Every structure is written in C-alpha cells, then in structure tokens.
Structure 1
Amino acid sequence: MPELRYGCTTVSLELPPGRTYDTLMYGLEAVETSPELSQSRIREALAAPIGAERLRELARGKSRAVILVSDGTRLCPTGLLLPPLLEELNVAGLDDDQVDIVVALGAHRKHTPDELKRLVGAEVYARVRVHNHSAEPEDCIYMETTSLGTPVELNRMVAETPLRIATGNIEPHAMVGISGGVKALVPGVASKRTIESHHALSLTYKAVPGSPINPLHLDLEEAERLVPIHFLLNVIVDHNRHVLKAVAGHIAEAHRKGAEFAAAWFTRQVTELYDVIAVSAGGAPKDLQMYQALKALRNAAAFVKPGGTLLLVAACPEGMGNGLFQHWIETMGDRRKMTDKLREQFVLGAHKILHVEEVLSRARVFIHSSLPRHLIELLGFYPADDLSATAQALLQDPDAKLALMPFGSLTYPRHHR
C-alpha cells in the first residue's frame, strides 16, 4: 500500500485491488547520501571555491560580515552550512560578534525565536545575532531601478555590511527558472515593493524550470550587481535534506555549476499523460501551507491529461500561508473576477490565485488536508477527507491511467524541445 508524506508523518493510499500505477519521481540516478557525506561535500566546496578566493581570504581585513539564510519553508539544511562558514570567518580574524545572520524571508512571515534557533542550530544561535528580514520600506534602502523597471530596495543592514555571504539550496523554480544564488538577495532581503514589482514581470515573461536564462532571472542578476554578494554557498539536497552536491565561490559561476546539476536532477521528461495523479507535496516543509503546496499541484498538472484529476496530499498546518491570498479567496467574487483584477494590477500574495486558475483550467483537484473545508471549496477544490475512499471512487474505470507523485514540489516537468 503506497505511503505519501503528509506534514511530519505519512498517510496510506489504499488502491483498488490489482490497480497498477507509475511513479513520477525526481533524481532517477542513485547518489550516495549520509549525514557525513553532507558535511564533507560542504567542506570540500568551501575548500575549492569556483571563481573566487577562499572565504577566509576574502574576509581578511573586513570589519563585519552578514550571512543570508533561507527561511523555514525551504529544504536548505542551514544548520549544516553555518558552522563551517563561521569557521572560515573566524580564521580570517572576524569574531562572532562581527557577524550577523539574516533570514531571507522575502515577504514570508517572520520566524519566532524558537523557530530561528531551530533554523540555524542552537549552538550558532547562542554565538551569533540572528535577524528576521523586514520587507517594510523603512527597513530597506533604495539603490537603483533595473532596466525592466524593478526598483531595488534592500535590507539596510545587508546593504551596509562590507562582506555579504549568501546561502541556500538550488531547485528548479517556476517563475525565475532556478532558485538559489541571487534569490537570497532578491527577493530574500528586498522590500515588498521590489518583490511585487519583480513578481509582476511573470505576467509578461515566462521561464523554463531549471534554466536561469530568462528575463526574470536576468533582472535578479542586474539587481545583485548593485549590491554584490561576495561569496556564495549553495547546496542541492534531496527530500531528506541530504546534500547531493555543494558549490561555493562566485555568485554567478558557482551557482551556474549547481544549477546544471539541479536542472538535471529535479526535472523529468513528460513522456506520458495520466487520467489521475495522486501527488504529495512531499511533507514538511513543502506542505506547511497552501501558498507553498501549490507548487506540487502546478508540477503535477503538467503530467495529467486535460480534464483529468489531481489528488493532492498536503497537511497545510499554517493554512493558506498568506493573508492576502486568503482574503481574496474568502471575500471576492468568482475566480474569473480575481484573475482579471490580478492581470490588470499584480498583487503580491493574491497572485497565487493565478496559479490556482492555471491548474483548474487543466484538471479537477481533490485535496486531503487540514485546511478548513470552506477554504478548500472556495479555492475550487473538492475535499478528500477519506483519502483512500476518494482514490477508489476516482479509479472506478479500470482503464484510467494512474500515477503517484510522492515528491511533487521537487519533481518538475521537462518538455520535448
């Protein structure tokens, strides 16, 4: 009986007797993993940086350093990255009180003190100041406007610190092609105005998941040149946060190497379409909230037949994950009205309704979740309180082709070119 991740646990999916299915999975080649290998891959990357000096050399003579880290909605094993980075800075002569860590929240919610401690690790939390980024205008400083019209406003502390270090994990990304790299800066430590302006470009320009060659990513690169990241440490991890590969060094050169690996690892050729796909976002943190779990639905929609059915497994203990997203869903007219308004005037947070519409224009969606029933129905989805009973009802036709997608947020479509 298949088990699908659901929050920090799993749920069983009982299928009709004799029912066969395909599994849509990322990373078809085996890579050896272990906690020890994760640590050694990180240290090897730091010892042999790409296109840059070692961090211990770059940091010599600097008065202060800031390290940008991903927030708790990401798989990045931040607690593994920070100790060797701090070691490099200490060797260079920087004491812990000369270092700040900023959680690159973008416009996501701030973390509680306990969440910050879990994110960076108790030892690091006791040694170094850890800050939530604030996207409010008074906490950011305007630099310049990019050629595509994005006003670049960045966290004041980050902009004014002489040594800037970015961390993160690299995955395909539906909007900018690839995550990691410059995304720690924008949207990571940018103002709401900057983030909204940049995200609005997605109405005009499209990206191919896995490729940074698109106007949206180039816009981020242009913004980074205004406030350069001096050193990058990025990892590619599996769903258990094991490090498959680590890259360090120059923000663009090191990221490019990591992006090539991530694109091959997390994209899967669309060779067949299915009548029904049961998809898990992959458990926590990928299904903390609907805002994040939608990524799994968008990926699965590329593998389903037009008019087919998606059965999403996503706990969503934090609900919708964005107040504006929820407000629009609960208070505004029909989805057509919402999407028309968003195409006329992009609204950060509410823009996720465009992603909902994209999925529903292709398939019906049933969802097994802790989301309140009214939100499920107002989204245009159908509740699947009894997961197995729903699956069996959807599979009454013995000829219906079924696929399971156990890690939907990490399994991106790759189309024939």
Structure 2
Amino acid sequence: MAIIEIPYSTKSLKVNVEDKNLKGILVSKANSYKADCSQNDIVNRSLDNCIGSKSLEELVKDKHNMVIITSDHTRPVPSKITMPILLERVRKVNPSINIKILIATGFHRPTTKEEMINKFGQNIVDNEEIINHVSTDEDSLVSVGILPSGGELFLNKLAMETELLIAEGFIEPHFFAGFSGGRKSILPGIASAKTIMANHCSEFINSNHARTGIIKDNPIHKDMLYAAEKSNLAFILNVVIDENKNIINAFAGDSKLAHEEGCKFVMDLSSVKSIEADIVVSSNGGYPLDQNLYQAVKGMTAAEATCKKCGVIIMIAACNDGHGGQSFYDTVANSKGPEELLERILKVPRNETIPDQWEIQILARILSNYTVIVVTDVCDPNMITSMHMKHAYTFDEALSQAYNIKGKDADVVVIPNGVGVVVEK
C-alpha cells in the first residue's frame, strides 16, 4: 500500500491508496531539485545577473521615489527573504529614496496587518509604508489605455505616478494565465475591478490557449503583457519555490524577458505526463493557497487534465477561510446546477463580466464533467454541498465515496500539489 504525503493547510496529510488501485503519482521535479547555494545567495545572484535590463542599483540612482509591488496574502512569495534584499540594495545606492510597498491584491480582499507581519516580518511592517491596492476604489485608479481585447485599462495611481516601478513575485503554473509572476503583478495585481473583469471574460477563459503552462496565443496573457508595458514596470524579481516554499531559483531584470526565462525553468520542472484515471486526488499545495474554495479551483484543474470524463476528483484543501468570495458562493449555490450555470456564463458578453465569473466558470466546467469531493475538517460541509460538491472530513471517507461511485477496482492517480504541475496529454 502506498503512503503519500499531501500538503494540507500548514501541515500535511498522509494518505493511503492500495497498490492495485494506484496508477500513478504526478509530482513536479521542483520537489527534488537541489539548489547549489542558500536562498539569499540565489536571490542576490539573480540580482547580480539581470536579464535584459540594467541592474536594480543603476535604475534607482538619482530617483526620488519608487514603488515595489508585492503579492498578497494568498500567494506564498517568500517576502521575508526577498523584500529585505531589495530594500537593502536600493538604499545602499540611494539612502534618501522614498519607497512605497504596494500589495497587489487584484480582486481579493485587503491583506490584514497580521498577514503582513506573517509575510514580511515585524520589522518591515513597523518601518515601511505598505499600502493595499483596492480594485474598487476609483479615486485610487487612473485610466492608462485600452487593452488589446478592448477593455479599458485602469491602474493604481501610486504605481503610475512613481519614478520607478518594480515588482517582486513568484512563478508557478497558473490555470488560465499559463504562469503566475511577471506581468500578473500589474494585471490583475494593481488593476481596477472593471479591467480585471474585462480581461477574465468568459470568451477568454473558454479559450483552449488559456490553460495551465500556456502563454503562446493566450488572450489573457496578451492583455497582461500590454498592461505591464503601459505601467512602465521597469524591473522584476521573481523566484521559484519548492513544496516547502523554499527558493530554488530566481530571475531578475526585464519584466517580460526575465519572466519568460523563469517560465521555461518552471515548465521544465513541473511538466508531467497525463495518466488517465477514474479517480484523481489533488491539493492546492497547502497554505496559503488552500485557504478557501475559490483558490482550490486551481488544484482541481490539474486533476481535470488527467481524470476520465465522469470520473471523481478528490480535492484536499482546508478552506479554513470558507468560500473565498460572496459573489462566487452565491452564484454557484443559487444555480440549478453546473451545466445550467456554465451555459449561462458562456453567453455573457466581454464587457458584462461579473465579479468572480472566471472562477465560477472554471468550477462549473469541472463540475459539469466530474464529481468533486472536498476533503476538509475545518470548513462548513453545508457550504461545500450547497455549491454542488460533496464533502468528506477525511481522505479515507472521500476515497470510500469515490469507490462507491466508480467501483472498488477504479484506477487512482494522485497529484500531491495540483498547483505545482503542468499536466500534459
């Protein structure tokens, strides 16, 4: 019997699958990748060897102010390591520069002070000016152009008015943008709700190019690149992390070129061959990405890519923060079913996208083809079942439910970290 460790919240679960059922385990090579130096050294080395750009030190010379964009509480960017390095390098050559740290919340809620301390450490929270981007605050936004898709591009004023704009982040597979990092710091990171919804329209989400690991001909990526260019994003520091959230590589420099190099590295590590199965087990890689059902949809897409139609997806995600979005919950829970919901969303025009429609659309697509069982012991089961999914307190309970649906001899594939792999047919 195979015993497989799967991230769950801030810990992990050990799950058992009989050898006769287990058909494969899909794991990113990032889990076994061994860096040749410390995390700090990896970051500093990338900053010493910029890709397609002047060095950070050259860029900050003679500047009076700058903005550093960083990810929010839903992303495991190791800012306790990266941010101090960035601040030290900047102030070494320009001690008097005014620095603002702008949290790229995108369409999410603001990051709390407690979450900031957890992300940056007490020292940075106490001594730096940190601002949450609020996508619905029109007074904090400015129009800067029209996206290739036709939507109006509104971005945060602080970012647009600063002399130097840079961003830190991390690169991992993303379920409709292809990869995270780079241009995503701008769109959706510091864009308006209106702009985000135009970019995340049903037409684009439905595109076969808007999938995990794909940026070529991806209409969502194309809009994001335009937004990064219009924002004058001058420099990025993007890291790659392993399953323990430790930095294994870093890419710094031009926002497009450095990001592309990082994506190539991640693709090489995370690409796995699909193994079709009746039952597929997935996770969101633990905290912070498994805080809610909204984020858990990402891990489900990895299972979707390798599960037989009408199969069962077992999603292990704590969802301690609940559904993750009221409109997300209300729309799914109040629908007659996923098929009706998906059909309705696909008819929504590009400029009439509603909040969280993209996540609703992808979940509806999955639920139209698979039975989803969510494993959590810290989330209201009624909330899960009202959203047309099944609930289990334990993995064994979920597996038993799955066998009742697909039979005791059903094939099982396990993806310990669904957001860390690109499943290729």
TM-score scaled by structure 2? Answer: 0.91
Whether 1:269 and 2:297 are equivalent positions in the alignment is no
Does 2:225 correspond to 1:221? yes
Q: Percent identity?
A: 26
The aligned counterpart of 2:170 is 169
User: Is the Cα–Cα contact under 8 Å of residues 243 and 285 in structure 2 kept in the other structure?
Assistant: yes
1:365 aligned residue: 372
- 3-state SS in 2 of match to 1:351: helix
Task: Tell me if 1:126 matches 2:126.
Answer: yes
Deviation at 1:14, TM superposition (A): 4.0
1:232 maps to 2:236: yes
Q: Greater CA deviation, 304-313 or 39-48? A: 304-313
8 Å CA contact retained: 1:296, 1:408: yes
Alignment partners' CA distance in 2, 1:28 and 1:71 = 23
Supply the AA of the counterpart residue of 1:225: E
Residues 53 and 380 (structure 1), Cα distance of their counterparts in 2 relative to 1, 3 Å cut: same
Q: Secondary structure at the match of 2:73?
A: coil
Distance across 2 between alignment mates of 1:28 and 1:248: 19
CA distance in 1, matches of 2:335, 2:278: 32
1:293 corresponds in structure 2 to 296
* Residues 391/203 of structure 1: CA separation in 2 closer, same or farther (3 Å cut): closer
Matches of 2:14 and 2:51 in 1, distance apart? 44
Matches for 1:141-156 after TM superposition, within 5 Å: 141-156=142-157
- Could you tell me how far apart the structure 2 residues matched to 1:81 and 1:28 are? 19
How far apart in 2 are the matches of 1:309 and 1:59?
52
* 3-state secondary structure, aligned to 1:389: helix
- 1:235·1:244 contact (CA, 8 Å) conserved in 2? yes
Q: Which residue of 1 aligns with 2:184?
A: 183
Contact 2:173/2:266, CA 8 A, preserved across alignment:
yes
Aligned to 2:424: 414
The residue that corresponds to 2:26 in the other structure is 24
Match of 1:250 in 2: 254
Q: CA deviation at 1:33?
A: 4.4
Instruction: Work out the CA distance in 1 between the residues paired with 2:30 and 2:358.
Output: 33
Tell me how far apart the structure 1 counterparts of residues 358 and 25 of structure 2 sit (CA, whole Å).
31
Corresponding pairs, count: 412
> Match of 2:391?
383
Shift of residue 20 of structure 1? 4.2
**2:399 is equivalent to residue 405 of structure 1:** no
Match in the other structure for 1:351: 358
- CA change 1:298–1:20 in 2 (3 A) is closer
User: What CA distance in whole angstroms lies between the structure 2 residues aligned with 1:351 and 1:207?
Assistant: 11
Stretches of structure 2 that go unaligned for 5 or more consecutive residues are none
Q: Give TM-score scaled by structure 1 length.
A: 0.93
Q: Distance in 2 between matches of 1:254 and 1:411?
A: 21
Aligned CA distance change for structure 1 residues 414 and 18 (closer, same or farther; 3 Å): closer
2: CA distance between counterparts of 1:262 and 1:414?
14
Larger deviation: 142-151 or 378-387?
378-387
Offset of residue 336 of structure 1? 3.7
Shift of the 103–85 alpha-carbon distance from structure 1 to 2, 3 Å rule, reads: same
Change (3 A) 1:365 1:224: same
Show the counterpart of 1:42.
43
Q: How far apart are residue 203 of structure 1 and its match?
A: 4.2
- Structure 1 111/28 Cα, relative in aligned 2: closer, same or farther at 3 Å? closer
Distance in structure 2 (CA, Å) of the matches to 1:358 and 1:297: 11
| 1:139 and 2:140 aligned | yes
Cα deviation, 1:34-93, whole Å, max 9, x if unaligned, reads 9x6211110000111111111111110101011000111112111211111111211221
Structure 1, unaligned runs of 5 or more: none
2:325 to 299, 307, 322: 322
Q: Is the 8 A contact 1:15 1:388 kept in 2?
A: no
Taking structure 1 as reference, are residues 261 and 9 closer, same or farther at Cα in structure 2, changes over 3 Å only?
same
